[in-house]
C-alpha cells in the first residue's frame, strides 16, 4: 500500500486538531466501529480537553483511495515548538494551516522554517475563511512572502493552497466557491506529495518520539527510513554519542486510526511503534546488526526557565493530597524525565527542594497541573529565566511578542511593554484592531498577560516565542500592587471581608480555610498589608451572625495555575494541591519576613 506521512503544523489555535477530526471522518475504515468519534479527537488527554489546546503531538492514520495517510497532529503553542521540530522527522510533507483572519503568526514562522529546512514540501491551508472580515487572498500572499523570507527552494515555493473552514467541514481551491467536503485537500495531498522513494539499504530508523505504557515500558516511535523491522528482531541501537548497543525488538505496531495495530513487520516508509528496547533516547537510531548505519541525530531544546519545586510545608500540608513527601515528588520528577525531553531537574542543597528547568511557563505548568491531578501536593516558586554569560557579558533570553488588541488599547500595551524593557518593532492595523510586535526580555513577559487582559477587558491576544540571548536589559519593576496577607489561621468571615473590601481585591470567598501568611488578596497600594479576616463581628445587641449573609461581597478573583505562577513575586509560593491553588508568602510569619528583608 502507498503511504504518505503528513504533519499538520500551525500557530496555536489555527485549527489543526479540528481539521484532523474531519480527515478522520472522511477517511475509509475497514470496520466503522473502529472509527474514532467525537470532537478534537486527537486532544485525548484530560488537560488537553480542558484547555482546548494540543500539548503532545500524536499520530493517526486514515486511508483515502487506497493510500494510507499517517497524519501527525502537532501542538501550536511555542513552549512545545521543540516537539514539533522533532516529529517533523517522520513527515514526508507538511500541511501548513494559517488562520484567514490572523494570517501568519510567530509560531507559523517557526514551524514553517523548520519544515523548509528539513527539505519538506508544504501544502498551505488558509483556514477559517468563514470568519468575518477575514482576508484569505492577503493571507495567501503573506505566506508566500514568509516562505521567500525563510529561503524556501523553488520547489517549496511552488505550493498548492486550499481554502476553507475545517470547522464547517469543507476545503476548496477558491475560498469564494465553498464546497461540502474536505476531499479537495486529500486530492492535493495525493497529487502534491508523490510516494516517497525508499532507498536501498539495511535497516535505519530514527527514534523521534516516545510513549510510555505501564505494561510494556517505553515505546519507541519513528518512521522506518529503509530496510526491515520485524518483531523479535535483533538490532543495534546507535546512541546520540555514537556508541552502539545490541538490543532485541519485542513487538512492532503500526497505526490504524488512533489505535496501534500489532504487526509482524513494517513496510519501509511507515510510522511504527516498537517495544522491548531499554534505555533508548530520542535521537537514537535503530540499525542493522551487521552493518549499523545510523541516521543523523536530532537536537533537543535547551531549557530557558526554571522554577523551584518543594514539598508543601504550609499548615495545610497533607490535608488535600495523596502524595506529599519529598520521596513522592522526587520519584515523580524522575519518571517525568523519562519522557519529557525539554525538562531538566537539578537537586538543591535541601532534600525537599528541586530546581526544575523547562521551556516556559506553559511547559512547566502542564507538569504541575498533571501532578496535581494525580494527587500530588507541592509548592512552586516564581519562574526565573536562565541568565547566561556570553563573551563575559551577562545575557538574558529575548522573545518576539505579538499583541493583537482593539486599537483604543494600543497605547496601554505599548506603555506596559516599554516599562518591561521591550521595544516595538512593528504595528499594523487590522479592522478596528491593532497587531503590535515587540522584542522583549522573557522576564518582561511574565505577568504581562494578566495585566493586559485586565486592562483590555479580556480582548488582548498575546503570543510570544524565544528568539535568542542578548545582553541584560536592566531591572524590570515587579508587580505594582502589594499583597493582602492573612494574619491568622482560621475561616474567613463575610463581615471581615466586607469591611476590608476597599483595601483591595480578595482571592478567597467567605467561609474558606486560610492560614497565617497566606496571600488572600491584592492590596490596592504598593506595599504588603497583613489583615485579619477571621474576626467575627461583636454580637453586642444580640444580632445573629446569620445576618452576615446579607453583606454584599464582591466575588473573589480566581486564578488559573499559570496566572498564579505569573502573578507571584520572589518572596511568594504557589501552593498546589488536588483541590486548591493558594498563594502564600515564603515566610509565613511577619517577623520572619521582616528579618529576611534586612538580610
Ligand atoms: N470560525 C472557525 N473556527 C475554527 C475553524 N477551525 C477551527 N476553529 C476553531 O478554532 C479553535 C481552535 O481549534 P483547534 O483545532 O483546537 O486548533 P489547533 O490548531 O489544534 O490548536 P493547538 O493544538 O492548541 O495549537 C476551536 O475553537 C475551533 O472550533 C474554522 O474553520 N472556522
Ligand atoms: Mg491542536
- Summarised one tens digit per residue, pLDDT across range 307-338 is 999 999 999 999 999 999 999 999 999 999 88
Q: What pLDDT, on the 0 to 100 scale, is given for residue 228? A: 94
Q: Name the DSSP class of 195.
A: P
* Ligand 1 neighbourhood includes 534 CB (under 6 angstroms): no
Could you tell me if the CB of 463 is within 6 A of ligand 1? no
521 lines ligand 1 (CB under 6 A): no
Half-sphere exposure of 398 (CA within 13 A, CB side): 17
- Same domain flag for 67 and 167: yes
Q: Please tell me whether residues 507 and 419 are part of one structural domain.
A: no
166 lines ligand 1 (CB under 6 A): yes
51 in contact with ligand 1, CB cutoff 6 A: no
Q: Does the CB atom of residue 321 touch ligand 1 within 6 A? A: no
Q: Which residues contact 404 (CB under 8 A, 6 or more apart)?
A: 102, 430, 433, 434, 435, 436, 460, 461, 462
How much is the pLDDT for 401?
94
In sequence order, what are the beta bridge partners of 262? 253
Q: Helix 410-419 to helix 448-455 angle, to the nearest 10 degrees? A: 160
Ligand 1, atom 9, lies closest to the CA of: 15
Q: Is 57 in the pocket of ligand 1 (CB under 6 A)?
A: no
Ligand 1 lined by 127 (C-beta under 6 Å): yes
Task: Kindly state whether residues 71 and 178 are assigned to the same domain.
Answer: yes
| CA 68 / ligand 1 centre spacing (Å) | 25
Neighbours of 192 (CB within 10 A): 16
18 lines ligand 1 (CB under 6 A): yes
Tell whether 66 and 180 lie within a shared domain.
yes
Rounded CA gap, 593 and 193, in Å?
A: 64
440 within some domain: yes
Q: Record the cell numbers describing residue 457, joined without a space.
A: 477587558
Indicate if 447 and 576 belong to the same structural domain. no
Q: How far apart are CA 575 and CA 312, in angstroms?
A: 7
Rounded to an integer, what distance in angstroms lies between the CA atom of residue 404 and that of residue 432? 11
- CATH, residue 257: 2.40.30.10
Q: Is residue 74 in some structural domain?
A: yes
Distance 168 CA to ligand 1 centre (A): 11
DSSP symbol at 387:
P
Half-sphere exposure in the Cβ direction for 174 (13 Å, CA): 2
Q: What is the pLDDT of residue 540?
A: 54
Atom of ligand 1 nearest to the CA of 131: 1
Residue 5 has which C-alpha cell? 506521512
Query: Cell numbers of 320, please?
Result: 488535600
Q: Residue 145: which domain range?
A: 2-192
Report the half-sphere exposure of 485 (CA within 13 A, side-chain side): 22
63 and 22 together in one domain? yes
Query: Which atom in ligand 1 lies closest to the alpha carbon of residue 19?
Result: 15
Paired strand residues for 430: 433
Answer yes or no: is the C-beta of 362 below 6 A from any ligand 1 atom. no
Which of 231, 255, 287 terminates a domain? The answer is: 287
CB atoms within 10 A of CB 370: 17
pLDDT at 213: 82
Q: Rounded to the nearest whole angstrom, what is the distance from the C-alpha of residue 43 to the centroid of ligand 2?
A: 7
478-492: burial string, b at 16+ Cβ within 10 Å, e else: ebebbbbbbbeebeb
Give the ligand with the smallest distance to the CA of 80.
1
Nearest Cα residue to atom 5 of ligand 1: 167
Instruction: Tell me, using a 6 A CB cutoff, whether residue 81 lines ligand 1.
Output: no
CA 375 to CA 373: how far, in whole Å?
Answer: 5
11 and 132 within one domain: yes
Q: What is the CATH number of the domain that holds 72?
A: 3.40.50.300
Cell numbers 502524595 correspond to: 323
How far is ligand 2, taken at its centre, from the CA of residue 19, in Å?
A: 9
Tell me, using a 6 A CB cutoff, whether residue 22 lines ligand 1. Answer: no
In a domain, 264, yes or no: yes
Q: Which residues make up the environment of ion ligand 2, defined by Cβ < 5 Å?
A: 16-17, 54
Are 270 and 254 in contact by the 8 Å Cβ rule? The answer is yes
| CATH assignment at residue 405 | 3.30.70.240
Predicted pLDDT of residue 413: 94
Secondary structure (DSSP) of 526-559: SS-EEE---PPPP-TT---GGGGGGS--PPPP--
State the Cα–Cα distance between residues 581 and 519, nearest whole angstrom. Answer: 11
Alpha helices in 345-481 (DSSP H): 361-373, 410-419, 442-445, 448-455
405 neighbors 460 (Cβ within 8 angstroms): yes
Distance separating alpha carbons of residues 73 and 87, to the nearest angstrom: 10
Q: What is the pLDDT of residue 535?
A: 67
Parallel, antiparallel, or unpaired: how do β-strands 271-274 and 252-256 relate? antiparallel
Q: 154-182 in b/e burial notation, b at 16+ Cβ within 10 A?
A: eebeebbbbbbbbeebbbbeebeeeeeeb
Helix (H, G, I), strand (E, B) or coil at 595: helix
Same domain, 136 and 12: yes
| The pLDDT of residue 339 | 80
Task: Supply the pTM of this predicted model.
Answer: 0.88
β-bridge partners, 426: 437
For residue 392, CA distances in Å to 188, 388, 395, 530 come to 53, 9, 9, 43
- Provide the angle, in degrees to the nearest 10, between the axes of the packed helices 136-149 and 106-117: 50
The Cα-based distances of 379 to 87, 109, 308, 364 in angstroms read 33, 36, 8, 13
- Domain presence at residue 383: no
Closest CA to 473 of 445, 448, 452, 449: 445
Cβ–Cβ under 8 Å, residues 20 and 42: yes
Q: Whose CA is nearest to atom 2 of ligand 1?
A: 128
- How many domains does one find in the chain? 4
> Does residue 121 belong to any structural domain of this protein?
yes
Q: Domain check: are 75 and 186 in the same one?
A: yes
Residues 545, 528 contacting (CB under 8 angstroms): no
Final residue before a domain boundary, out of 444, 471, 498: 471
Instruction: Report the pLDDT value the prediction gives residue 74, as an integer from 0 to 100.
Output: 97
Asked if residue 263 is part of any domain, the answer here is yes
Ligand 1 centroid vs 82 CA: distance in angstroms? 21
Is position 321 within any domain? no
Residue after which a domain boundary falls, among 287, 317, 342: 287
Q: Are residues 276 and 136 in the same domain?
A: no
What pLDDT tens digit does each residue of the chain (599 aa) get? 899 999 999 999 999 999 999 999 999 887 788 788 889 999 998 899 988 899 999 999 999 999 999 999 999 998 898 889 999 999 999 999 999 999 998 899 999 999 999 999 999 999 999 999 899 999 999 999 999 999 999 999 999 999 999 999 999 999 999 999 999 999 999 999 988 889 999 999 999 998 888 788 889 999 999 999 999 999 999 998 889 999 999 999 999 888 899 999 999 999 999 999 988 988 999 999 999 999 999 877 788 899 999 999 999 999 999 999 999 999 999 999 888 888 999 999 999 999 999 988 999 999 999 999 999 999 999 999 999 999 999 999 999 999 999 999 999 999 999 999 999 999 998 778 899 999 999 999 988 988 898 889 888 988 888 889 999 999 998 888 999 999 999 999 998 899 899 999 999 999 999 999 999 999 999 999 999 999 654 555 544 455 555 678 899 999 999 999 999 999 999 999 999 999 999 999 999 999 998 87
Q: Which residues, in sequence order, are CB contacts of 477 under 8 Å at separation 6+?
A: 419
Cα of 73 vs centre of ligand 2, distance in Å, is 7
**Statement to judge: residues 102 and 250 lie in one domain:** no
262 is a domain residue = yes
Ligand nearest to the CA of 108: 1
Q: Are residues 281 and 177 in the same domain?
A: no
Amino acid at each position: 500500500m502507498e503511504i504518505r506521512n503528513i504533519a499538520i503544523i500551525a500557530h496555536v489555535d489555527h485549527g489543526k486538531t479540528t481539521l484532523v477530526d474531519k480527515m478522520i471522518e472522511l477517511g475509509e475504515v475497514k470496520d466503522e466501529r473502529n472509527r474514532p468519534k467525537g470532537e478534537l479527537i486527537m486532544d485525548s488527554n484530560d488537560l488537553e480537553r480542558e484547555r482546548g489546546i494540543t500539548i503532545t503531538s500524536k499520530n493517526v492514520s486514515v486511508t483515502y483511495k487506497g493510500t494510507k495517510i499517517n497524519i501527525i497532529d502537532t501542538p501550536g503553542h511555542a513552549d512545545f515548538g521543540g516537539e514539533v521540530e522533532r516529529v517533523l522527522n517522520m513527515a514526508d510533507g507538511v500541511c501548513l494551516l494559517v488562520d484567514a483572519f490572523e494570517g501568519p503568526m510567530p509560531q507559523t514562522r517557526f514551524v514553517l522554517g523548520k519544515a523548509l529546512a528539513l527539505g519538506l514540501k508544504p501544502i498551505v491551508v488558509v483556514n477559517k475563511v468563514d470568519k468575518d472580515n477575514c482576508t484569505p487572498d492577503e493571507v495567501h500572499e503573506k505566506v508566500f512572502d514568509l516562505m521567500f523570507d525563510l529561503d524556501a527552494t523553488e520547489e517549496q515555493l511552488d505550493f498548492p493552497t486550499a481554502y476553507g473552514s475545517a470547522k464547517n467541514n469543507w476545503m476548496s481551491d477558491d475560498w469564494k466557491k465553498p464546497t461540502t467536503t474536505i476531499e479537495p485537500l486529500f486530492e492535493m495531498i495525493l497529487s502534491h506529495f508523490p510516494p516517497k522513494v525508499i532507498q536501498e539499504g539495511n535497516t535505519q530508523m530514527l527514534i523521534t518520539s516516545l510513549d510510555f505504557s505501564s505494561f510494556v515500558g517505553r515505546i519507541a516511535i519513528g518512521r522506518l527510513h529503509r530496510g526491515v523491522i520485524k518483531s523479535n528482531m535483533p538490532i543495534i541501537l546507535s546512541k546520540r554519542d555514537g556508541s552502539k548497543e545490541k538490543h532485541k525488538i519485542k513487538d512492532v505496531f503500526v497505526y490504524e486510526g488512533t489505535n496501534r495495530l500489532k504487526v509482524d513487520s513494517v513496510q519501509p516508509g511507515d510510522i511504527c511503534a516498537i517495544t522491548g528496547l531499554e534505555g533508548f533516547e530520542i535521537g537514537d537510531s535503530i540499525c542493522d546488526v551487521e552493518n549499523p548505519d545510523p541516521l543523523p541525530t536530532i537536537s533537543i531544546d535547551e531549557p530557558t526557565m526554571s522554577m523551584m519545586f518543594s514539598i508543601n510545608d504550609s499548615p495545610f500540608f497533607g490535608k488535600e493530597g495523596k502524595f506529599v513527601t519529598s520521596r513522592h515528588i522526587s520519584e515523580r520528577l524522575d519518571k517525568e524525565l523519562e519522557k519529557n525531553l525539554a525538562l531538566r531537574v537539578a537537586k538543591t542543597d535541601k532534600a525537599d527542594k528541586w530546581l526544575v528547568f523547562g521551556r516556559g511557563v506553559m511547559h512547566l505548568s502542564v507538569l504541575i497541573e498533571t501532578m496535581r491531578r494525580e494527587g500530588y501536593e507541592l509548592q512552586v516558586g516564581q519562574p526565573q529565566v536562565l541568565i547566561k554569560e556570553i563573551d563575559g557579558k551577562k545575557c538574558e533570553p529575548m522573545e518576539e511578542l505579538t499583541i493583537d488588541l482593539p486599537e483604543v488599547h494600543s497605547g496601554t500595551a505599548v506603555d506596559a511593554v516599554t516599562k518591561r524593557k521591550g521595544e516595538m518593532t512593528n504595528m499594523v492595523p487590522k479592522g478596528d484592531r491593532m497587531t503590535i510586535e515587540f522584542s522583549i526580555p522573557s522576564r518582561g513577559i511574565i505577568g504581562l498577560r494578566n495585566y493586559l487582559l485586565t486592562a483590555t477587558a479580556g480582548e488582548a491576544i498575546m503570543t510570544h516565542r524565544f528568539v535568542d540571548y542578548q545582553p541584560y536589559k536592566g531591572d524590570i519593576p515587579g508587580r505594582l500592587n502589594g499583597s493582602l496577607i492573612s494574619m491568622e489561621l482560621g475561616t474567613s468571615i463575610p463581615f471581615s471581608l466586607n469591611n476590608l473590601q476597599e483595601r483591595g481585591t480578595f482571592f478567597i470567598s467567605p467561609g474558606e480555610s486560610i492560614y497565617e501568611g497566606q496571600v488572600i488578596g491584592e492590596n490596592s497600594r504598593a506595599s504588603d498589608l497583613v489583615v485579619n479576616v477571621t474576626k467575627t463581628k461583636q454580637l453586642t445587641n444580640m444580632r445573629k451572625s446569620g445576618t452576615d449573609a446579607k453583606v454584599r461581597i464582591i466575588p473573589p478573583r480566581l486564578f488559573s495555575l499559570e496566572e498564579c505562577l505569573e502573578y507571584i513575586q520572589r518572596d511568594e509560593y504557589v501552593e498546589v494541591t488536588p483541590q486548591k491553588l493558594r498563594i502564600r508568602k515564603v515566610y509565613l510569619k511577619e517577623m520572619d519576613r521582616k528579618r529576611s528583608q534586612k538580610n
